[in-house]
A = this chain, B = another copy of it.
Amino acid sequence: MGKDAISNHIRNLRFHHNEMTQQQLADKAGVTRQTIVAIEKGNYSPSLELAFRIARVFGKSIEEVFQYDDKQ
């Protein structure tokens, strides 16, 4: 299921942003809470479009929010 090539710092970023809840992040990113849960837990990685929107919520670059973990 989780291919796990992509990890992220969403959970930490939420807490550094006024204790933003999953629901609040979901609303700002324009997706459902389930999508945030799944991405935050690493069940799957977001589309590029959603990655842009999430990064924008935190005022960060995509690379600062998501990491591509190389499997060589």
Please give the residue numbers on chain A whose beta carbons come within 8 Å of chain B beta carbons, in ascending order: 3, 5-6, 45-49, 51-53, 56, 61-63, 66, 68
Contacts and interface: CB of A to CB of B under 8 A. Distances in A.
Contacts of A46: 48
B47 A47 contact: yes
A6 B53 CA distance: 11
Given A5-B49, A45-B49, A48-B62, 8 more contacts: A3-B49, A6-B48, A47-B47, A47-B48, A49-B68, A51-B51, A52-B66, A61-B62
Q: 9 nearest interchain CB pairs?
A: A52-B68, A48-B51, A62-B62, A45-B48, A48-B48, A5-B49, A46-B48, A6-B49, A6-B48
